Structure 1
Amino acid sequence: MLQNACRIAGFILVIFSQNIQAQNLPAKRPKPNIVIIISDDHAFQAISAYGNKLVKTPNIDRIAQKGVRLDKAYVTNSICGPSRAVILTGKYSHKNGFKDNETSQFDHSQDNFAKHLQTGGYQTAWIGKIHLAGKPEGFNFFNLLPDQGSYYNPEFIGMDGKSIRKEGYVTNLIEDISEEWLDLRDSNKPFCLVVGHKATHRTWLPDTVDFGRYDSLTFPVPVNFYDQYKTRSAAAVQDMSIDKTMQMAYDLKMLSYSSKGEPTVNRMNPAQRAKFDAYYGAIEADLKSKNLTGKALAEWKFQRYMKDYYSTAESLDRNIGRMLDYLEKHELDQNTIVIYMSDQGFYLGEHGWFDKRFMYEESFRTPLLMQFPGVIKPGTNSSQMVMNLDIAPTLLDAAGLAIPSDMQGKSMLPFLANKAVKGREALYYHYYENGEHSVSPHFGVSTKDYKLIRFYKRVNSWELFDLNKDPSEESNVYGKKGYEKTTLALKQQLTKLIAEYDDKEAKVILRSEP
Structure 2
Amino acid sequence: MVLRTPSHVRRVRGGSPRRAPNRVGRGVGPGGHAHHLLGIRLRGRRPASGPAVRGFSLRLALGLQFLALLTGCGQAPADERPSLVLVLADDQRFDTLSCAGGKHVQTPCLDRIAAEGAFFERAYVTTSLCCPARAGILTGLYAHKTQIRSNEDDVDFLASGLGFPELLQAEGYATGFFGKWHIPNPGAMPQPGFDKWVSFDGQGQYLDETFNIDGERKQLLGFNTDRLFDLALEWIGDQGSRPYLAIISLKNLHRPPTVPKRHRGSLADQDWPLPESAHDPVEELPAFVQRVRTTLRNRFFDDEGLTHEMSVRGYYQMMLSLDDNVGRLTAALEEDGTSDRTALFVTSDGGFMWGEHGLYRKRTAYEPSIHVPLLVRFPREIAAGTSLTDLALNIDIAPTMLDLAGATIPSTYQGRSMRRLWGAGAPDWRRDLLYIDGWGKFVDGPQEMAVCTQRYKYVRYRRGVVEEALFDLEADPDERHNIVGQEEHAARLAAMAQRMSDLLVELEAPPTWMEAVEPGSAEHPGR
TM-score of the two chains, using structure 2 as the length reference: 0.77
Is the partner of 2:169 in helix, strand or coil? helix
| Distance (whole Å) between structure 2 residues aligned to residue 401 and residue 344 of structure 1 | 28
| Cα deviations by residue, 1:311-354 (Å, 9 ceiling, x for unpaired) | 11111111111111110111110100000001111123322333
| Distance (whole Å) between structure 2 residues aligned to residue 434 and residue 460 of structure 1 | 19
Q: Say whether the 8 Å CA contact 2:298–2:359 is kept in structure 1.
A: no
| Distance (whole Å) between structure 1 residues aligned to residue 326 and residue 79 of structure 2 | 27
| Cα deviations by residue, 1:351-388 (Å, 9 ceiling, x for unpaired) | 23332111111111110000111211111111011100
| Distance (whole Å) between structure 2 residues aligned to residue 88 and residue 442 of structure 1 | 24
- CA shift, 1:251, in A, is 4.9
Amino acid at match of 1:375: E
Amino acid at match of 2:276: V
The answer as to 2:199 corresponding to 1:144 is yes
The answer as to 2:83 corresponding to 1:77 is no
Structure 1: where are the runs of 5+ without partners?
Answer: 1-26, 253-300
1:213 aligned residue: 266
Q: 1:508 to 1:28 in 2, by over 3 A?
A: farther
The answer as to 2:366 corresponding to 1:315 is no
Is the partner of 2:225 in helix, strand or coil? helix
Q: Say whether the 8 Å CA contact 1:69–1:369 is kept in structure 2.
A: yes
| Distance (whole Å) between structure 1 residues aligned to residue 508 and residue 298 of structure 2 | 39
Amino acid at match of 1:212: G
Task: Compare 426-435 and 203-212 and name the one that shifted more.
Answer: 426-435
| Cα deviations by residue, 1:42-79 (Å, 9 ceiling, x for unpaired) | 11111111012341011111110110110000010000
Q: Say whether the 8 Å CA contact 1:77–1:429 is kept in structure 2.
A: yes
1:324 aligned residue: 330
| Cα deviations by residue, 1:378-414 (Å, 9 ceiling, x for unpaired) | 1111101110010000011111111110001011011
Q: Say whether the 8 Å CA contact 2:153–2:183 is kept in structure 1.
A: no
1:424 aligned residue: 430
The answer as to 2:76 corresponding to 1:30 is no
2:208 aligned residue: 153
Q: 162, 176, 179: which is aligned to 2:233?
A: 179
Q: 104, 108, 126: which is aligned to 1:58?
A: 108
- CA shift, 1:158, in A, is 2.5
Is the partner of 1:417 in helix, strand or coil? coil
1:337 aligned residue: 343
| Distance (whole Å) between structure 2 residues aligned to residue 457 and residue 104 of structure 1 | 25
Is the partner of 2:292 in helix, strand or coil? coil
The answer as to 2:275 corresponding to 1:222 is yes
Q: 69, 89, 92: which is aligned to 1:42?
A: 92
Q: 1:163 to 1:246 in 2, by over 3 A?
A: farther
| Distance (whole Å) between structure 1 residues aligned to residue 303 and residue 500 of structure 2 | 43
| Distance (whole Å) between structure 1 residues aligned to residue 477 and residue 196 of structure 2 | 44
Q: 1:104 to 1:218 in 2, by over 3 A?
A: same
Q: 216, 222, 232: which is aligned to 1:168?
A: 222
| Distance (whole Å) between structure 1 residues aligned to residue 302 and residue 409 of structure 2 | 48
Q: 434, 448, 470: which is aligned to 1:464?
A: 470
| Distance (whole Å) between structure 2 residues aligned to residue 107 and residue 189 of structure 1 | 28
- The structure, 1 or 2, with the larger RCO (C-alpha pairs under 8 Å, 6+ apart) is 1
Q: Say whether the 8 Å CA contact 1:414–1:421 is kept in structure 2.
A: no
1:196 aligned residue: 249
Task: Compare 347-356 and 120-129 and name the one that shifted more.
Answer: 347-356
Q: Say whether the 8 Å CA contact 1:205–1:309 is kept in structure 2.
A: no
Q: 285, 290, 307: which is aligned to 1:236?
A: 290
| Cα deviations by residue, 1:289-322 (Å, 9 ceiling, x for unpaired) | xxxxxxxxxxxx2222221111111111111111
| Distance (whole Å) between structure 2 residues aligned to residue 129 and residue 448 of structure 1 | 32
Is the partner of 1:444 in helix, strand or coil? strand
The answer as to 2:87 corresponding to 1:87 is no
| Distance (whole Å) between structure 2 residues aligned to residue 88 and residue 192 of structure 1 | 12
- CA shift, 1:460, in A, is 3.6
| Cα deviations by residue, 1:122-169 (Å, 9 ceiling, x for unpaired) | 001110112123341111111112111101111212222x43221111
Q: 1:242 to 1:325 in 2, by over 3 A?
A: farther
| Distance (whole Å) between structure 1 residues aligned to residue 259 and residue 296 of structure 2 | 19
1:509 aligned residue: 513
2:171 aligned residue: 120
Is the partner of 2:276 in helix, strand or coil? coil
| Distance (whole Å) between structure 2 residues aligned to residue 191 and residue 447 of structure 1 | 35
The answer as to 2:449 corresponding to 1:449 is no
Q: 1:317 to 1:240 in 2, by over 3 A?
A: farther
| Distance (whole Å) between structure 1 residues aligned to residue 120 and residue 296 of structure 2 | 29
Q: 1:464 to 1:249 in 2, by over 3 A?
A: closer
Q: How does 1:311-460 map to 2 (within 5 A)?
A: 311-419=317-425, 421-433=427-439, 441-457=447-463, 460=466
Q: 1:244 to 1:159 in 2, by over 3 A?
A: closer
1:491 aligned residue: 497
| Cα deviations by residue, 1:22-58 (Å, 9 ceiling, x for unpaired) | xxxxx99810000100000111111111012341011
| Cα deviations by residue, 1:469-497 (Å, 9 ceiling, x for unpaired) | 32211222334322221122112211221
- CA shift, 1:449, in A, is 2.2
Amino-acid identity (%): 31
Is the partner of 2:310 in helix, strand or coil? helix
| Distance (whole Å) between structure 2 residues aligned to residue 208 and residue 510 of structure 1 | 49
| Distance (whole Å) between structure 2 residues aligned to residue 440 and residue 236 of structure 1 | 17
Amino acid at match of 1:336: T
1:12 aligned residue: none
The answer as to 2:121 corresponding to 1:67 is no
Q: 174, 180, 188: which is aligned to 1:129?
A: 180
Amino acid at match of 1:44: F
| Distance (whole Å) between structure 2 residues aligned to residue 108 and residue 213 of structure 1 | 42
Q: Say whether the 8 Å CA contact 1:67–1:378 is kept in structure 2.
A: yes
2:520 aligned residue: none
Q: Say whether the 8 Å CA contact 1:434–1:458 is kept in structure 2.
A: no
RMSD: 2.5
1 or 2, which has the higher helix percentage? 1
Is the partner of 1:245 in helix, strand or coil? coil
